[in-house]
Amino acid sequence: MLGCSRRLFYRVRLSPIRRTLSTSPVKPNPLTVAPARKRNFKFSYERSSHTIVEEPELKVPENKLDFANYQRNSYKLKISEEDAKKIPSILTLHARLVLSSKYQYSTLVRALTCQMKENEYADNKQMALFGANLLSFYVTENLISNYPRLPISILKTATDAYIGDFSLCDVAQNSWGIEQDETSNLEKYLSSEPKLFRFGRLRYDKHTTQVEKGITKFDNVTVTSLDHATAFADAVRAIVAGVYAHDGEEITKKFIQSHVLSRKIDISSMFQFREPGKLLSRLLRVKQMEPPTVRLISETGRLSNSPIFVVGCFSGDSMLAGGEGSSLKEARIRSFVNALKAFYLYKPLDSKMPSDDDFKPLFVDEGEPFY
């Protein structure tokens, strides 16, 4: 009895101390400045244009601004143009992409070789970096001139939808028919495949090993290892850089337009509005327009189990957008969303890009901070 009361006493007395001593289960990260190597980017297209190549693998000249004399230490071997012409898959890829006669076959071989452990052949790492620079400029320019009012977050998501790892991986595998080198040396020997033919496929250090069908083991994360999508995307980026090196920037721009920007992405579905009414009234206030009013335009079957209401969202006398729904509330919210999308997805007629020859000054977005 006595022991029990003492235990209770301690529990009562110590509990506030314990509470102050206990740490939160989610401990916040210490506030430190992240070094360049640790920088995390949200989108894969941003990561790809910030690749780092540092000194043990790079021979830096005395004068660091002498960019002509930088050299990679690992480079010792190169597939010659004559050898590259013997590889069927390289010839096919060259023909399929309708590359010019100036585009060398050995450049395609290099574009399909990623940085690997104990690899002495020239790889695509720095070509992919330059290709990423070209791609992200031309895609951003295209989006800004075609959709000048896109909010920044949607602009970046749309850019990633064009040139992120997964999209470019899709281009490489499904449009360009690039394959990865999966067979072992023994299998190649048994099928009496010449050694040279492996350079016609994408070669990279894989993150994972396929133990058996349906089981993937994530056991091989090293400095040089890449995941499937990044490796394929880097090959595409390197091929784009190759077009620049052999044919110049104008042809590269056309190449990007026909292979990347020609793909359809649905920007409208990237928007998610939490409180569309509030957002619209704030937007109209900033643009010095009258606040939104919703008016019923037509309706049918109000007393039935499937009514339809059509409403219009107005600012003063001008109708911003219409909306329909099976309840008045649904129709109203849809009209707000449509009005917001009509604003953000405004597209000028006959827009010209800054890199076009017959360029005209663009509509300049002034920006608004709510989205």
CA 136 to chain centroid: 9
CA-angle at 354, arms to 348 and 359, nearest 5°: 75
3-class secondary-structure state, position 77: strand
Please state the closest distance from residue 214 (CB atom) to another protein, in A.
38
Beta carbons of 127 and 247 less than 8 angstroms apart: no
Please state the closest distance from residue 102 (CB atom) to another protein, in A.
7
Q: Compute CA distances 190 → 87, 157, 184, 212, whole Å.
A: 19, 46, 10, 21
CA distance 135 to 159: 9
| Of 207, 200, 152, 195, residue with least CA distance to 178 | 200
Give the range of 82-90, 211-219, 338-346, 350-358 binding another protein by CB under 8 A.
Answer: 350-358
Binding track over 189-228 against another protein, x by CB under 8 A: ----------------------------------------
Give the range of 51-59, 190-198, 255-263, 333-341 binding another protein by CB under 8 A.
Answer: 51-59
Residue list 299-338, contact with another protein (CB under 8 A): none
355 lies in the binding site for another protein (CB under 8 A) = yes
DSSP string, 294-339: EEEEEEE-TTSSS-EEEEEEEETTEEEEEEEESSHHHHHHHHHHHH
φ/ψ of 62, rounded to 5, equals -55, -50
φ/ψ of 258, rounded to 5, equals -80, -25
CA distance 164 to 180: 19
Give the range of 2-10, 122-130, 168-176, 328-336 binding another protein by CB under 8 A.
Answer: 122-130
3-class secondary-structure state, position 58: strand
Total interface residues for another protein by CB under 8 A: 56
Binding track over 142-181 against another protein, x by CB under 8 A: --x-------x--x--------------------------
Let me know if 137 is exposed, middle or buried by CB neighbors in 10 A (0-12, 13-18, 19+). middle
Please state the closest distance from residue 216 (CB atom) to another protein, in A.
30
Closer CB to another protein, 162 or 309, in the complex: 162
Give the range of 9-17, 56-64, 88-96, 176-184 binding another protein by CB under 8 A.
Answer: 56-64
Closer CB to another protein, 1 or 364, in the complex: 364
The correct pick among 93, 97, 129, 158 for binding another protein (CB under 8 A) is 129
The correct pick among 8, 9, 66, 117 for binding another protein (CB under 8 A) is 66
Residue ranges binding another protein (CB under 8 A): 36, 49-54, 58, 60, 64-68, 70-72, 75, 78, 102, 104, 107, 110, 122, 125-127, 129-130, 133-134, 136-137, 140-141, 144, 152, 155, 241-242, 245-246, 286, 353-356, 359, 361-362, 364-369
